[in-house]
């Protein structure tokens, strides 16, 4: 068995060398490599990867689902609608996802496509927690700019450099006022 493993290892070295990449030039990766997409199911085609975030009893006045119609690409989109004033003003009605592996000390770009109807407050951003407080604060958030409520999909994105002492990173999306929004092709990408 050991002889077979050595033969396979030698064949791989020869193949890499033959492709013009000397083994001594292969990079050692200690962080997530650039262009790594860290969101699971960003197209909402499956029922996995996301945690619903809404106050108890939200189904009396709101709808949160992965909808089979009006998708920008693919079959589905994440759809949220609030029909009357929520019990908990400013509470997120939408989804969250913990990001793993954690891209500490790296620049990330996050965003996606958003379609808005009515006048909801769209909440699409990241929240990260630091190990060491800054001015007494350990929890920080970065939100994407407002999206026009014109019933068309708009691409939005933002870049942020995460601190080296980041211990948690969550992507969130949804709304917190009367109206509706659809989210599609959501991503979080390591840039460096």
Q: What three-state secondary structure class fits 10?
A: helix
**Interatomic CA distance for residues 161 and 142, integer angstroms:** 11
pLDDT exceeds cutoff 50 at 13: no
For residue 57, the domain's CATH number is: 2.60.120.260
pLDDT digits (tens, 9 = 90+) for 108-162: 999 999 999 999 999 999 999 999 999 999 999 999 999 999 999 999 999 999 9
Report which of 96, 114, 107, 104 is spatially closest to residue 39, judged by C-alpha positions: 96
Check: CB of residue 59 under 8 Å from CB of residue 40: no
- Does the residue 18 lie in any domain? no
pLDDT at 33: 56
- Does the residue 10 lie in any domain? no
pLDDT digits (tens, 9 = 90+) for 162-187: 999 999 999 999 999 899 999 999 99
Structural domain of 69:
30-190
pLDDT at 85: 80
- Does the residue 14 lie in any domain? no
- Does the residue 4 lie in any domain? no
Query: How many residues make up the chain in this entry?
Result: 192
Whole-structure pTM value: 0.80
pLDDT exceeds cutoff 70 at 79: yes
Q: The tokens of 34 are what?
A: 């650039």
pLDDT exceeds cutoff 80 at 3: no
- Phi, psi angles (nearest 5°) of residue 58: -60, -30
- Does the residue 92 lie in any domain? yes
- Does the residue 25 lie in any domain? no
> What mean pLDDT, rounded, does the chain reach?
85
pLDDT exceeds cutoff 60 at 89: yes
- Does the residue 134 lie in any domain? yes
pLDDT at 10: 42
- Buried b or exposed e, range 121-157, using 16+ CB within 10 angstroms: bbbbbbebebeeeeeeeeeeeeebeebebeeebeebe
pLDDT at 35: 57
Q: What is the mean pLDDT of residues 38-57?
A: 94
- Does the residue 12 lie in any domain? no
- Tally of domains in the chain: 1
pLDDT at 31: 57
Give the N- to C-terminal CA distance of the chain in Å, as an integer.
Answer: 40
pLDDT at 34: 56
Q: The tokens of 91 are what?
A: 């509470």
Report which of 124, 122, 94, 98 is spatially closest to residue 39, judged by C-alpha positions: 98
**Interatomic CA distance for residues 99 and 97, integer angstroms:** 6
pLDDT exceeds cutoff 60 at 26: no
């Amino acid at each position: 068995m050991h002889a077979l493993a050595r033969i396979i290892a030698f064949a791989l070295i020869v193949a890499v060398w033959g492709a013009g990449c000397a083994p001594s030039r292969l990079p050692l990766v200690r962080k997530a490599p650039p262009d790594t997409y860290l969101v699971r199911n960003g197209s909402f085609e499956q029922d996995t990867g996301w945690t619903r975030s809404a106050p108890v009893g939200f189904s009396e006045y709101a709808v949160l689902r992965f909808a089979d119609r009006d998708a920008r690409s693919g079959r589905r989109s994440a759809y949220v609608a609030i029909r009357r004033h929520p019990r908990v003003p400013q509470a997120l009605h939408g989804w969250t996802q913990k990001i793993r592996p954690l891209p500490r000390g790296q620049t990330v770009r996050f965003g996606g496509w958003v379609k808005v109807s009515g006048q909801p407050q769209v909440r699409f951003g990241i929240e990260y927690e630091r190990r060491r407080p800054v001015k007494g604060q350990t929890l920080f958030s970065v939100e994407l700019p407002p999206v026009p409520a014109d019933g068309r999909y708009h691409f939005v994105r933002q870049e942020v450099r995460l601190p080296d002492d980041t211990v948690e990173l969550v992507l969130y999306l949804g709304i917190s006022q009367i109206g509706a929004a659809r989210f599609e092709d959501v991503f979080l990408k390591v840039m460096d």
